[in-house]
Amino acid sequence: MTVLLLVPPLLLPFAVHGLAGRALDRLHPVAALRALTLTAIVLAGASVSALGALVLTGLLALPLFAPLGELVHPLHTPPNALVLPVAAVATGVLTVSAWTLLRSALRQIRAYRTARRQAESSPAAGDLCVVDSPHPDAYALPGRPHRIVVTTGMLRTLAPAEREVLLAHERAHNAGGHYRYLLAAELAAHCHPGLRRLRDAVQLAAERAADEAAATAVGDRRLTAQAIARAALATRAAPSTRPDFASAATTGPVPQRVAALLATPADRPRSASWIALLLVACAAVSACAAASGVVVFHHEVEVAQGEAQR
Amino acid sequence: MTEAKDERRPAGELEASVMAALWAADGPRTPGQVQADLAVDLARTTVTTTLTRLHDKGVVGRERQGRGYAYYPVEDAPGLTARRMHSELERDADRETVLARFVARLSSDDERVLRELLESGEQ
């Protein structure tokens, strides 16, 4: 029973990315950003709880650990031949997750600190920090105060009107607090491999939201699309020290953003609310299953401890 | 004289736009040239005021040119530190960092699709 309840939280993250793609197509980018991030957090939490419950079940099934749990009766679980391998796998997955999560968190902090130091020592005008480097690059740097970091390589690539698009785009990231969504999705992606694609969807939603805000600010969708395409092509042309892992099999996020800006913004189709509802349902099923799994497991432990009646 | 519609933008945004234009330019620029370099519609006096403010902050330098000044972005010792740290960041910043970058890396397919999109849009 317990083990069955723990299956949905572990499998749903693999199923949700199809829904994520549709949410990006149908929902307003800001709504998609919020819905997808929330889904990622809930699914990650549910999957970690499910794995944790499996690990504990396995531990308490071992004669070595049963006394530590103050069990007076044997724990009512499926046969050890099933529980022990499952628990062993769960332990492995949790350990790897915790390790990559920690490593990613440390890397984020380090990158943020370096970026912050860099911004503080660069000439600042308003919220803009210019870094003298031929490599075209630009990013929003959250903090007090928010900053926009742009390299001279990027500034020289863009036409004057396109520079306004870039500034408006990065300001939208900072004003919308997008880094919070990106960070949450990044950490969630380390909790379950199925959530990596959801993280990519969250990143795309954040960029789309900033693109739309920039298009509104400069009042020209086509110009916005052009600025993004030009910046991306310039990045491509510049020699880079970073290894290129980008797979050529799928269309990457930049062409999708440009295409979305060039398309006439249509009225949101009616299916939009269904997509949002399905995402919520996915998250709810996962969370409920994990919660009931943990509650049932807790009850089983109390029974085994002689503190509750079956 | 045209109505300057962007006159009411916050001072910080004006400074950012002017600074971006100075960095994108090849050499020192007069207020008139900066005004022409900007996509936003600003009065010459606004550009001059913004340039003066940036000069007071020490982020741009200026030199005499005719009856006025020509302005250029300042890159001093802190600027050099910034460049060193930038390469440091570049090494670190693989696709996993959450800094919202303007554009992600492109695959060769992406590049082809982008060029097609731009061409189809220009027709």
Class of domain B1-123: mainly alpha
Residue bearing the bigger pLDDT, B103 or B32: B32
Asked if A158 contacts A166 with a C-beta cutoff of 8 angstroms, the reply is yes
| A310 belongs to a structural domain | no
Cα–Cα nearest to A257, from B119, B101, B98, B114: B114
Cβ neighbours around A284 below 10 Å, total: 13
Domains in chain A: how many in total?
Answer: 1
Cα separation, B1 vs B46, in Å, equals: 14
Average pLDDT over residues A83-107: 88
pTM of the model as a whole: 0.83
Residues in chain B: 123
Per-residue model confidence (pLDDT) at position A244: 35
Q: Is the confidence at residue B95, as pLDDT, over 60?
A: no
Cα separation, A208 vs A214, in Å, equals: 10
Q: Break chain B into its structural domains and give their ranges.
A: 1-123
Q: Which of A123, A247, A254 sits opposite B79 (nearest CB)?
A: A123
| pLDDT band of A261, cuts 50, 70, 90 | confident
Please check whether residue B1 touches A, CB under 8 A: no
Q: What does the block give as tokens for A36?
A: 């997808």
Q: Which of B102, B117, B119 to mutate to test the interface with A (most CBs of A within 10 A)?
A: B102
Contact A254 B85 (CB under 8 A): no
Contact B90 A242 (CB under 8 A): yes
Per-residue model confidence (pLDDT) at position A83: 79
Write the ipTM.
Answer: 0.76
| A309 belongs to a structural domain | no
Average pLDDT over residues B24-31: 88
**Which are the contacts of A82, defined by CB distance < 8 A and separation ≥ 6?**
A3
Q: Which of A110, A164, A226 sits opposite B92 (nearest CB)?
A: A110
Average pLDDT over residues A54-80: 76
The whole-angstrom distance between residue A206's C-alpha and the CA centroid of its chain comes to 11
Q: Within the 7-66 window of chain B, which residues sit less than 8 Å (CB to CB) from chain A? A: 10-21, 23-24, 37-40, 54, 57, 59-60
| A103 belongs to a structural domain | yes
For residue A306, is it left (φ>0), alpha (ψ between -120 and 50) or beta? Answer: left
Task: Write out the residue range of the structural domain in which residue A63 sits.
Answer: 2-241+249-304
pLDDT in tens, A153-197: 889 989 999 999 999 999 999 999 998 998 899 889 999 888 988
Cα separation, A220 vs A214, in Å, equals: 9
**Mean of all residue pLDDT scores within chain A:** 82
pLDDT in tens, A196-209: 889 889 989 999 99
Q: Of the given ranges (A144-158, A247-261, B11-25, B77-91), which has the lowest mean pLDDT?
A: B77-91
Tell me which H or E stretch contains B99: none
Residues in chain A: 310
Task: Say which DSSP state A60 is in.
Answer: H
| A146 belongs to a structural domain | yes
Q: Is the confidence at residue B2, as pLDDT, over 60?
A: no
Asked if A200 contacts A40 with a C-beta cutoff of 8 angstroms, the reply is no
The 3-state secondary structure of A100-153 reads: HHHHHHHHHHHHHHHHHHHHHHCCEECCEEEECCCCCCEEEECCCCCEEEEEHH
Q: Which of A139, A148, A167, A207 to mutate to test the interface with B (most CBs of B within 10 A)?
A: A139
